[in-house]
A and B are shown apart, each in its own frame.
Chain A
Amino acid sequence: MRVVVADDVMLTREGIVRLLKDAGIDVVAEADDAELLLREVRLKRPDAAIVDIRMPPTHTDEGLVATHRIRTEHPEVGVLVLSQYVEPSYALRLLEEHPERVGYLLKQRVFDVAVLVDALRRIDDGETVVDPTIVARLFGRQRRQDPLAELTEREREVLGLVAEGLSNRAIAGRLFVTERTVEAHVKQVLLKLGLDLNPDSHRRVLAVLAYLRGERSI
């Protein structure tokens, strides 16, 4: 897999690059700001880009803006956004703009090379990746009438993995069950939550996250 890495902090960027190289992933370019990142993506046409959310000049949401441009101009290039913030808003914004081939991971997690490589592979396969901490935060949100209480333990587990962006097959692998079982669970969960959507669509991640946040209108 060919990857571009963008992060303005050299320490982090080099760390990620080294980890990726050790894992046998081809890092075709590095960038320390969004402009350079976009140029490298145009030039090298990588399979994926790893993008720090906070980059010069304003250190706010340059990473999200760059992601939007990459996904619009080069739909074949997936993007993994790295952030130090456990902010569901950012993850939701990312998925709202592009529900496929994107991911939002906490920065500290990427040094676990297995997590990093897994995320990149999933994005390359067309899935989405949402950091478990974000999902946990949304699960922990206090609700007036909690529909999550009606779910069984296993169903909650499945819902969590759906929210993290896993496909039914990946969920089946994680839980050591068959894909058909997962499908049944997903159907049941969506039914209990009153979410009317295709259980296999790419938009289900966004719909579930928005639902957990209390934004029913999606």
Chain B
Amino acid sequence: MARVPVPPADLARLAAGAVVSAYGLGALAVARGPGERTTYAGASELAAALTTAAGLALVAAGMVASLARQGRRIGDLALLAGFLWFAPVWAGWNGGPALARSLGTLAAVFTLPVLLHLVVAFPSGVLRSKGARALVIAVYLGAALSALGRALFRDPFFDPACWDNCTDNVFLVHSIPDVARAIEDVDLWFVACAAAALAALCVWRLAAASGPARRTLGPVLAGGIALAGATIAHSVVLSRAAIEDPSDSEFLAVFVVGCAAVIVIAFGLPWALVQARIQRRSVARIAADLGEAPPPGSLESALADAIRDAELQIAYWLPGARRYVDGHGDPVDEPVAGPARAVTRLIRNGHEVAAITHTATVADLEREVGAAVRLALENERLQAEVLAQLQDLRVSRTRIVETGDAERRRLERDLHDGAQQRLLALSYEVRLARAGATADGDEELARMLDAAGDETAVALDELRDLAHGIYPAILTEAGLAPALQALADDAPLPVELDELAPERRPPAVETTAYVTVAEAIEDAARRGAAFLSVRVHGADGRLSITAQDEGRPRSHDLPHLADRVGALGGTLELGDTSLRAEIPCE
């Protein structure tokens, strides 16, 4: 392991953390001493412990987070929140320096906005959506206006609701108690509304997140919801009381919930980082775990497991076919990013290797996919390309067979509707002429017309056989069972057909089954068989045809039939005196 030098910025953060911790412990000393009646921490030991724990937890989380590259912005926010968290204690320092108390009073106004910013911007530290950005800006603006108004016009000495700092405001320009009162009232409900928006945002993000994302984001978002609840409850309780009293049970309960929420949020920051690290490790391990010849599509499930995102999809771009396919070579839609989904495209030499659709909580998947996984992805892309080509080939083989069948069928119809009808008409004319000749007593002509009529009948028979040989119309019109019966009627050897269900199947399947039985009959006859038993059976979306005889053993294959069955994705097995074809019906 190489030693990683700690960059100066991190040293500054560590120093800031240490300073804030010291200042927080100082606040504790203040609360347990002169601030006994003017701070929550002074009101009870529980409140003191919670105040200190929440503040220091924020500081610690901030320091841990800022050690990780992706956590820096969030870490800074946590440090700042930890700093502001102790402000109310300093404001309640009875007998303390006026400047410190005045600043503490103003800084306390910003505690909630910074916490809200922290939760909303988590985990990237960046505000992605417009709504989130608007909420954060509004809350900062409201806090700034409120702080400014209080600083300029609120003389704590004339504030009847004052409780923590009732003596000092070094910024006071002109005391206007009514304005100060109004600002406090408006601020009370503005903060409640902001908290409600925060809660809604957290609930929405939790609902929209996939399983693994919910696991990562859960603690911080849940803490955000609890914090919002405590804030709203505080506004409600305060609006009913004349003065905020830390020893009052309602106020104390709200305060305890708020502290707990902050502790949960602080705990959630390193939790998310640890989750991300676990994820990165498992992504890096994928290539090794897959082994040398992973089955198609295994990379997708491995990656999905690694980042715990069951909906993860890998799409490979086939430049030749100009479409995306999955690991099996099956066509998929072009990957697009959605509200909670991100698309990471891995490019190599200017060509896209793979497009991965995954949960948006994994911000930088490309970095996490190491060289080994990249190589595995490239391998799978090649495999998918081959599979896709194979599939195209199969489809095209099926199409060739289907086109051939359709063409034969058309020919048969043309013969039937054209030449056969004309010959029929001709035979009718001949009959008519013959009747005339007989009436006229022209025996010679009658005989000639008889001969012509017989010839026409022979021509009709031959034409019918020809048409039937081109395509057996009964197959399309009545189905496989009657068509096979007809085959057995004409067979040169006894053929026993097992009962076949009358249900219809796709034309290509019926034709192939028919051709199979026809070939089996011909083959059995060639090998001198005295009897052929045929069984056609449909199950599980497949039609299986078995033929068994007792002729001489087969000495040659049936390549034409194998091609035909194979074209539909079926299989043909030949035994010495048996044959078995399986044709998928879809």
Query: Which residues does A use to contact B, with CB under 8 Å?
Result: 9, 11-12, 15, 18-19, 22, 54, 59-61, 84-90, 93, 107-108, 111-113, 137-138, 140-144, 213-214
Closest 7 CB pairs of A and B: A89-B482, A15-B428, A60-B477, A11-B425, A142-B494, A144-B494, A111-B428
Contact A142 B427 (CB under 8 A): no
B52 to chain A, nearest CB (A): 88
Contact B493 A89 (CB under 8 A): no
A121 and B376 alpha carbons, distance in the complex (Å): 82
Contact B488 A85 (CB under 8 A): no
Contact B427 A138 (CB under 8 A): no
- A11-B424, A15-B428, A89-B482 known; A84 and B489 CB under 8 Å? no
Contact of B491 among A89, A90, A142 (CB under 8 A): A142
Chain B residues lying within 8 Å of A59, measured Cβ to Cβ, are 413
- A12-B425, A111-B427 known; A84 and B477 CB under 8 Å? no
Q: Chain B, interface size: which category?
A: 35 or more
Query: Is B421 part of the binding interface, using a Cβ–Cβ cutoff of 8 Å?
Result: yes
Contact A138 B425 (CB under 8 A): no
Query: Which residues does B use to contact A, with CB under 8 Å?
Result: 413, 416-417, 420-422, 424-425, 427-428, 431-432, 435, 457, 460, 464, 473-474, 476-478, 482, 485-486, 488-497, 530-531
Chain B residues lying within 8 Å of A85, measured Cβ to Cβ, are 464, 473-474
- A12-B424, A88-B486 known; A111 and B464 CB under 8 Å? no
Contact A107 B488 (CB under 8 A): no
Chain B residues lying within 8 Å of A86, measured Cβ to Cβ, are 464
Chain A residues lying within 8 Å of B413, measured Cβ to Cβ, are 59
Closest to B422 in A: A11
A115 to chain B, nearest CB (A): 11
A212 and B482 alpha carbons, distance in the complex (Å): 15
Contact A12 B421 (CB under 8 A): yes
Which among A86, A112, A137, A143 has the greatest number of chain B C-beta atoms within 10 A? A86
Chain B residues lying within 8 Å of A89, measured Cβ to Cβ, are 474, 478, 482, 485-486
Chain A residues lying within 8 Å of B464, measured Cβ to Cβ, are 84-86
Chain A residues lying within 8 Å of B427, measured Cβ to Cβ, are 108, 111
- Give 23 A-B contacts (CB < 8 Å), ordered by A residue: A9-B421, A11-B421, A12-B428, A59-B413, A61-B477, A84-B420, A85-B464, A87-B478, A88-B486, A89-B482, A89-B486, A93-B478, A108-B427, A108-B460, A111-B424, A111-B428, A111-B431, A113-B431, A141-B489, A142-B493, A144-B496, A214-B496, A214-B497
A180 to chain B, nearest CB (A): 34
Which among A87, A143, A213 has the greatest number of chain B C-beta atoms within 10 A? A87
Contact B488 A141 (CB under 8 A): yes
Contact B424 A108 (CB under 8 A): yes
Q: Is the interface of B mostly helix, strand, loop or mixed?
A: helix
A59 and B457 alpha carbons, distance in the complex (Å): 23
B23 to chain A, nearest CB (A): 91
Chain A residues lying within 8 Å of B494, measured Cβ to Cβ, are 142-144
Closest to A133 in B: B461
Chain B residues lying within 8 Å of A137, measured Cβ to Cβ, are 489-490
Which among B416, B432, B489 has the greatest number of chain A C-beta atoms within 10 A? B489
A105 to chain B, nearest CB (A): 13
Which among B424, B488, B497 has the greatest number of chain A C-beta atoms within 10 A? B424
Contact B488 A84 (CB under 8 A): no
Closest to B484 in A: A89
A140 to chain B, nearest CB (A): 8
Chain A residues lying within 8 Å of B428, measured Cβ to Cβ, are 11-12, 15, 19, 111
Contact B486 A87 (CB under 8 A): yes
Closest to A89 in B: B482
Chain A residues lying within 8 Å of B493, measured Cβ to Cβ, are 142
B368 to chain A, nearest CB (A): 61
Chain A residues lying within 8 Å of B490, measured Cβ to Cβ, are 137, 140
B560 to chain A, nearest CB (A): 24
Closest to A86 in B: B464
A6 to chain B, nearest CB (A): 16
Closest to B459 in A: A108
Chain A residues lying within 8 Å of B476, measured Cβ to Cβ, are 60
B94 to chain A, nearest CB (A): 100
Closest to B492 in A: A142
Which among B435, B486, B488 has the greatest number of chain A C-beta atoms within 10 A? B486
Contact B495 A213 (CB under 8 A): no
Closest to B482 in A: A89
A15 to chain B, nearest CB (A): 4
Contact A61 B478 (CB under 8 A): yes
Contacts A60-B476, A61-B478, A142-B492 supplied; 9 other A-B pairs, CB < 8 Å: A12-B421, A59-B413, A60-B477, A61-B477, A89-B482, A90-B482, A113-B435, A144-B530, A214-B488
Closest to B423 in A: A108
Contact B416 A84 (CB under 8 A): yes
B439 to chain A, nearest CB (A): 11
Contact of B425 among A15, A84, A93 (CB under 8 A): A15
Closest to A60 in B: B477
B196 to chain A, nearest CB (A): 67
Closest to A8 in B: B417
Contact of B485 among A15, A142, A213 (CB under 8 A): A213
Chain B residues lying within 8 Å of A144, measured Cβ to Cβ, are 494, 496, 530-531
Contact A142 B421 (CB under 8 A): no
- A11-B421, A11-B425, A12-B424 known; A87 and B457 CB under 8 Å? no
A59 and B421 alpha carbons, distance in the complex (Å): 14
Chain A residues lying within 8 Å of B432, measured Cβ to Cβ, are 18
- A108-B424, A108-B457 known; A138 and B489 CB under 8 Å? yes
A169 to chain B, nearest CB (A): 29
Closest to A53 in B: B477
Chain B residues lying within 8 Å of A12, measured Cβ to Cβ, are 421, 424-425, 428
A146 to chain B, nearest CB (A): 9
- A12-B425, A86-B464, A88-B489 known; A142 and B420 CB under 8 Å? no
Chain A residues lying within 8 Å of B485, measured Cβ to Cβ, are 88-89, 213
Closest to A12 in B: B424
